[in-house]
Structure 1
Amino acid sequence: MSRPAPQVDTVRASRPLLLWTCALTTGAVLLIGLTGPFFAPHSPTAQIATPYAAPSPGLWLGGDHLGRDVLSRLLDGGPSVVLTSVLATIIAVTTGTAAGLVSALLGHQRGRSGLVMRPLDAVAALPPVLALLLVLTAVPGRIGVVIAAAVASTPLSARVIHAAVTPVLRRPHVELAIARGEGWGWLLRYEVLPLISATVLADVGLRFVLALYLVTAAGFLGIGSGGSDWGTLVVEALPGAPLQPVALIAPLLLIATLAVSVNLLSDSVTRRTPRTGR
């Protein structure tokens, strides 16, 4: 007779390994992205090789279409991608969480959550890339990318938090606290936020991935901050991919690794976060 218990134990034992693997991978890519310019072996604009030069010692990722060092350009473009994505994520999660809490409270008290959610739903109906193009038309550069990513992410974050908070407000311990005359600030801090912390953590990972997608899309479309951000490197490497595939694979691998590791890390942390209840 088969026993499922050892398989369950194996799954449980693998979760900490997955968590640490995702954390180390995310940390390594973020470290590369933030400190890369300090370790670039060459100037990102210097022509040091023939166009589409193959990888070799001293030119580890080869050259691009102008003979510039791909590794130096990859390291130099990291901060713009990482910092822009992180800033957009912070703005989107903070604003979306506040909007979700307010809409849930209005819905619980007066049945008027639509006052907050309907305008945000209208913004959410706009495709993220279209929002990116519209915002960058008015506010070009890195600031425009941050605004566009925050605008595209905030309604989704608000909807997630609203859905998480609404059932919490109907719990007996919350109703009891309201009957005791506790203020909404106290309720949110001690009764609501501890119960949705796992949801907020999961939402952070999703918003970061969306921000990273929009930041790299802006570079790919040539409407981002310019320079050597990873999206720009991808579009520049496409024509010569048959001659120098490493120049295309390297930025794609960094983008994909960062997105997947952040998503898995968020999911792993969420599973390990205790859901306090009463």
Structure 2
Amino acid sequence: MSATVPRGGTLRRSRSVRARICAAVIGAVLLIALLGPLLAPHSPTAAVTAPYATPGAGHLLGGDHLGRDVLSRLLDGGPSVVLTTTVATAVSVAVGTLAGLVTALLGHRSSRRGGAVMRPLDALAAVPPVLALLLVLTTVPGRLGVVLAVSAASAPLCARVVHAAAAPVLRRPHGELAIARGESWGWLLRYEVLPLVSPTVLAELGLRFVLALYLVTAAGFLGVGPTGTDWGTLVVEALPGAALQPAALLAPLLLIAVLAVGVNLLSDTMTHRERETAR
């Protein structure tokens, strides 16, 4: 008789396969995006075909409203979108995680002190992300402004989630024992709290990346961020001629969607793995 495979083992293998597929897709998109300017067959600013030319030989995605090669412009804008999104996500999650851990520790010792730190973050989190983007970019234009706007929109939400995950950990026996021993804040957060909230941080990483990608492309779409070949700019440029040349609109939208969904699925798979390790 053949041995019965435990359901847990089947799920783990399924998640492992899904993680590899997601990592491969994300890696391919990131590689194409980062090396895009080197792979572009034409200059992103030169008119090399007829306006709204359909895809064909020499122009795989056709031309835009000025006759520029869509594929070349799409590849040229990749590094800007990917690097800005990655930096903004890293800053948001780092600041939000640190704020959430510190407020959880302050709240454990004194609810009044913890609330004094968390309430301003809650007020900042109530500002709609697009409004925060517009407000910040009016004073700090450019990519730095986009990073600051994304951090202002994402970090408070991340802090609230991490705080909710860390507060119960501090009330567990090992957390109470570490506090009773007089361990430093850094040691307590690093060795007693962070390992147990790492699945939450990983999940937040995926969510914050999606929000950062949305805001980065929204800045280009609204014309308030860095312009040129940014994917959001390509979308708004392609809208008037979408009926004549749909590839110019669908190509950047597809890349944005694949990158967002792939990162979220990979984050979800890694979160499940970290939870099993924590158990």
Aligned equivalent of 2:239: 238
Q: Is the 8 A contact 1:102 1:116 kept in 2?
A: no
What CA distance in whole angstroms lies between the structure 2 residues aligned with 1:172 and 1:208?
34
Q: Deviations over 1:172-206 (max 9, x none)?
A: 01111222222222111111111111111111111
Shift of 1:13: 3.0
Q: Is the 8 A contact 1:198 1:275 kept in 2?
A: no
What CA distance in whole angstroms lies between the structure 2 residues aligned with 1:149 and 1:186?
30
Aligned equivalent of 2:97: 97
Residue identity (%): 71
Q: Is the 8 A contact 1:124 1:156 kept in 2?
A: yes
Pairs aligned (count): 274
Aligned equivalent of 1:189: 190
SS in 1 for 2:243: coil
Aligned equivalent of 1:39: 39
Aligned equivalent of 2:62: 62
What CA distance in whole angstroms lies between the structure 2 residues aligned with 1:8 and 1:175?
33
Shift of 1:100: 0.5
Shift of 1:68: 0.2
What CA distance in whole angstroms lies between the structure 1 residues aligned with 2:155 and 2:187?
25
Within a 5 Å distance, the mapping from 1:84-233 to structure 2 comes to 84-111=84-111, 112-233=113-234
Letter of the structure 1 residue corresponding to residue 230 of structure 2: D
Aligned equivalent of 1:276: 278
Aligned equivalent of 1:20: 20
| Structure 1: runs of 5 or more not aligned | none
**TM-score between the two structures when normalised by the length of structure 1:** 0.95
Q: Is the 8 A contact 1:34 1:78 kept in 2?
A: yes
Letter of the structure 1 residue corresponding to residue 50 of structure 2: T
**RMSD over aligned Cα atoms:** 1.5
What CA distance in whole angstroms lies between the structure 1 residues aligned with 2:95 and 2:11?
36
What CA distance in whole angstroms lies between the structure 2 residues aligned with 1:5 and 1:35?
43
Q: Is the 8 A contact 1:195 1:275 kept in 2?
A: no
Q: Is the 8 A contact 1:96 1:161 kept in 2?
A: yes
Q: Is the 8 A contact 1:145 1:224 kept in 2?
A: yes
| Structure 2: runs of 5 or more not aligned | none
Q: Is the 8 A contact 1:53 1:62 kept in 2?
A: yes
